[in-house]
Structure 1
Amino acid sequence: MTQTAPTHDPSVDEKLHEWITTFGADSADAAYLLADRHDPAAVAFTTIDIDDDDELVTVDLTYGELADASKRFAAALAELGVGRGDRVGVLMGKRAELVVSLLAIARLGAVYVPLFTAFATPAIEMRLTAGDARVVITEPGQVDKLDGIDGIRTIVAGDEFDGLVAAHEPVAESVAVGGDGMLILLFTSGTTGAPKGVPVPVRALAAFSCYMHYGLDVNADDVFWNAADPGWAYGLYYGILGPMAIGRRNLLLHAGFSPEVTAQVLRELGVTNFAAAPTVYRSLSKDPSFTGFALRRASSAGEPLTPDVIDWARETLQTEVRDHYGQTEHGMFINNHWHPDVAQPLVPGSMGSPMPGFATGIVDGQIAIDVAHSPLLFFTGYLDAPDKTAARFTPDGAWYLTGDTGRKDDDGRYYFTARDDDVIIMAGYRIGPFDVESVLITHPSVVDVAVVGRPDELRGEVLEAFVVLAEGVDGTDALEAELQQLVKTGFAAHAYPRTVHFVDALPKTPSGKIQRFILRKQP
């Protein structure tokens, strides 16, 4: 086992103490901390829609407007019987009602249960049932998914939502559940198994604030845009909660992703600090018309960035894209930090070093968190799953095991290898799929790729690749051989894929992570 504790100057310790004290207090009131304490005239979010002429339509939402609407909506929810500890599902995209709902739920001491809009009914019902939620706030395009789910009361954004807000007087005060009180119940993505419920307490806002400051370096002069979906951890933690916790604005684009719309928002709103999933950067890098930008900061999280995307960003965005690492259970905690107080030179392939407030190490090949020396750690266990919780910790409880294998270099930087069950062992060699995927994605004909291990009588396992090709490119034997040779020369002779499958799309979770276990099961 090797350990890395963060090193920093006293000012970092002072900020950590401030965040931990503020958000971890027994009297912590989430609605006050997220909205009421900020300047009511300050803009909290700018919502963005696209009109029929493909023009951006923007509306600013101030902290004062958020506070008033959420106090009124809290009164409406209380009238429905929602109180402290009750779970409320929220099934909607990036829109003002989502933020109002979150704050209203918090004002009652209730628990916000995010539901991703790409979910089908069974996935929604599973989370509502597991979370014991009886009220769901949704939007018109999602209502049909709730039909047939027994025992729930729905509130729909638009006339019904607005009518409830207008018809109720604001609640007089908010319920302060304290730093250990549950604010969010978020379910893991299910990359390697059934989703698990992660209770997120109010004190997690300290960790989110730390990442906004040190990881992303969001400052008062930035136009910040976290483009991730708030149905998942990165978008919820750092697109909704994190900005409000530190009083900064984020943009909420109520439209699907496309390179054209992304470019339009970046250009017309003057974005300077951008955060998105690796799939966004990969898609943008394949579009030759995406040019002419100069960002101050660009960040990525979800899966490791390939070197070709980093090279592209330096030229196209006039900045590096810095890779950050975290999990639903903790938020981000190992990063290529942007803030100059803790930043190190970027080493492509590395996910960086521990964020202030976390100490990490390698335990039995896994990236791990030193529990006793990580004051920002907020995960204490999965919802109603003691066995799954116990599996995440060493027997003495000293280390949290991420389930991700990795390594650490002499400078304290960490490198992701694979999910523990995605590691390919061939003839005694341990091969992480990311290493091979990083080479294959550089081929101009390859749009997306996943590598898995398949059983082999002689070698234990061999590598197989699943490749999505660019439009108009045919998957031929010659191209397969070309890709195999690319891996031999670009990574290692023994690690080339013995078979290349050309497919239309890769199976992914709604948050965009490749589900390699599905590929391993394919004939």
Structure 2
Amino acid sequence: MSELSDDITTQVDEWLELYGAPDASAAHLLVDRHDPSQVAFTQIDVDPQGTLHTENLTYGQLAEQSRCLATALAARGVTRGDAVGVLMGKRAELVVSLLALARLGAVYIPLFTAFATPAIELRLRGGDATLVITEPGQLDKVAGIDGVATIVAGPEFDDLIAGSEPLQESVAVGGDGPLVLLFTSGTTGNPKGVPVPVRALASFHAYLHYGLDVAADDVFWNAADPGWAYGLYYGVLGPLAAGRRNLLLHAGFSPETTIEVLNRLGVNNFAAAPTVYRSLSNDPRVTGFALRRASSAGEPLTPDVVEWALGALGCEVRDHYGQTEHGMFINNHWNEALREPVVPGSMGFAMPGFACGIENGEIAIDTAHSPLMWFTGYLDAPDKTAARFTGPDRTGWYLTADAGRMEDDGRFFFTARDDDVIIMAGYRIGPFDVESVLITHPSVIDVAVVGRPDRLRGEVLEAFCVLADGVVGTDELEAELQQLVKEGFAAHAYPRTVHFVDELPKTPSGKIQRFKLRQS
């Protein structure tokens, strides 16, 4: 790729100045500076008969509702720096809650709705949160957590807004001030907290513009869940920062609903995980579309899906690459100023604002020359932070732990990920989280979890369990262990198969050799 034009460099500099200003206010940047009559989101609900019901939410409505909710939250004792969990699906109240917290200078903790109570509590404790804003279907998961109060979407939420005066002045925490605390799972230990500062909005805006090429007149739909980075960064925060509408489908995924939304709303710019594209490719009804842009993130797309998309969607699907710690930063960019022909297997080129390379075989970010890089370390985890960076004061390379290569023209190719992380349907799952639940079963004395290739989901989890003396592995025990994970960690992360083995392969130092299990 040729050198960046002066226009691109100038644009990146302007975003850095805007979102990184010492007096930056997240509420102003995300909502107050936009035309109040402009539609920010369209919420889509699906009734039991499968009929879609849509409702537009303007920036003016978001501003007014979030000001009133901020007043109500302040009356509950929420103040600058406090963390509050939000456990909801894709609905308007989630956005209003995020903005209300931003107005107070408080920190938003996203909680995935498939999580069970232990996973939710771990994240709340990690952020010292004592309040969760949730929805009726999720209330049971948090109602029993000691010391945590709740606000529930519906009459209670609406009454708080209706009964509160609008907050007159929002807190400005500045570009380095915290906005979000998102937890990501690794290969060992508890999930790591990733503090997301206000200045990260510059990177999110850049990806929406250069990576996804979301134009003002596009009907854009990022179908990812806002409980995770891609859905939160580029389905909520990025569109708000850039003043672009997104759709909030308050329903589970199905090809039927997806087809209906694409048709009825006239979507022409679509972003989703590879699993969504693979599911759609198996449905013969998905044909005849004319998308302007289609993008995928989470794992590489297989060639058969890429070929299918050209005919069925009327547009190629472009792979993009990033992580929770910094968002997307290597892309097959859609924007005309950066668009290059897609080379099979390539994740594309570094996004403006990032300087990337290969360090010790890993895809890496040159932090000293990457002004859009916002991640500086994990919450209260100096050792894990140090393992990610080279050089003094984090001025060297940020190491992704994903292996890759870079061609002479600057194009990157993904060759392998951190072998222990499992990527299922675009979600990164650390085996430790699942193993920690399985080992609590009295019949299990040792356990290891690995990923297995799966055409639809990319990977699925398989568990290898060593049982206590006298215990026999049965189908009933397998089902019991699967349910244990659903209830103890997350509904989506249960092992599809449980193998009962005599022992686990280990190194002389006792480390599990998961690669041998994957080969078995």
Normalising by structure 2, report the TM-score. 0.82
1:234 aligned onto 2:233: no
**Cα displacement (A) at 1:408:** 1.1
Which residue pairs with 2:343 in the alignment? 347
Which residue pairs with 1:84 in the alignment? 80
Letter paired with 1:412: G
Preserved CA contact (<8 Å) 1:303 1:513: no
**Cα displacement (A) at 1:420:** 3.1
**1:281-360 alignment to 2 at 5 Å?**
281-360=277-356
Aligned residues: 451
**Cα displacement (A) at 1:378:** 0.2
Which residue pairs with 1:492 in the alignment? none
Q: CA 1:127–1:45 in 2, change beyond 3 Å: closer, same or farther?
A: same
**Cα displacement (A) at 1:388:** 0.2
Normalising by structure 1, report the TM-score. 0.82
Letter paired with 1:60: N
**Cα displacement (A) at 1:221:** 1.3
Preserved CA contact (<8 Å) 1:215 1:338: yes
Letter paired with 1:415: F
User: Alignment partner of 1:245: what SS?
Assistant: helix
**Cα displacement (A) at 1:265:** 0.2
Letter paired with 1:417: T
Letter paired with 1:353: F
Which residue pairs with 1:476 in the alignment? none
In 2, Cα distance between the equivalents of 1:338 and 1:514? 36
Letter paired with 2:150: T
Which residue pairs with 2:179 in the alignment? 183
Which residue pairs with 2:435 in the alignment? none
Which residue pairs with 1:253 in the alignment? 249
Stretches of 4+ moved more than 6 A in 1? Answer: 507-520
Which residue pairs with 1:421 in the alignment? 419
Which residue pairs with 1:277 in the alignment? 273
Paired residue for 2:133, among 114, 117, 137?
Answer: 137
Structure 2 unaligned regions, length at least 5? 425-430, 432-449, 457-477, 497-512
Letter paired with 1:328: T
Preserved CA contact (<8 Å) 2:187 2:420: no
Q: CA 1:168–1:468 in 2, change beyond 3 Å: closer, same or farther?
A: same
In 2, Cα distance between the equivalents of 1:307 and 1:67? 44
In 2, Cα distance between the equivalents of 1:511 and 1:19? 39
Q: CA 1:236–1:172 in 2, change beyond 3 Å: closer, same or farther?
A: same
Which residue pairs with 1:211 in the alignment? 207
In 1, Cα distance between the equivalents of 2:187 and 2:301? 18
In 1, Cα distance between the equivalents of 2:43 and 2:391? 47
Letter paired with 1:334: I
Cα deviations across residues 291-328 of structure 1 (Å, max 9, x unaligned)?
Answer: 12110000000111111111111111111100000000
Which residue pairs with 2:427 in the alignment? none
**Cα displacement (A) at 1:395:** 3.8
User: Alignment partner of 2:206: what SS?
Assistant: helix
Structure 1 unaligned regions, length at least 5? 424-432, 438-451, 453-463, 471-502
Q: CA 1:33–1:17 in 2, change beyond 3 Å: closer, same or farther?
A: same
Q: CA 1:234–1:391 in 2, change beyond 3 Å: closer, same or farther?
A: same
Which residue pairs with 2:401 in the alignment? 403
In 2, Cα distance between the equivalents of 1:100 and 1:350? 38
Cα deviations across residues 99-142 of structure 1 (Å, max 9, x unaligned)?
Answer: 00000000000000000000000000000000100110000000
Which residue pairs with 2:221 in the alignment? 225
In 1, Cα distance between the equivalents of 2:235 and 2:292? 18
User: Alignment partner of 2:31: what SS?
Assistant: helix
Which residue pairs with 1:50 in the alignment? 46
**Cα displacement (A) at 1:15:** 0.7
Which residue pairs with 1:385 in the alignment? 381
User: Alignment partner of 2:345: what SS?
Assistant: coil
In 2, Cα distance between the equivalents of 1:192 and 1:309? 33
**Cα displacement (A) at 1:410:** 2.2
Which residue pairs with 1:457 in the alignment? none
Q: CA 1:221–1:52 in 2, change beyond 3 Å: closer, same or farther?
A: same
Preserved CA contact (<8 Å) 2:85 2:129: yes
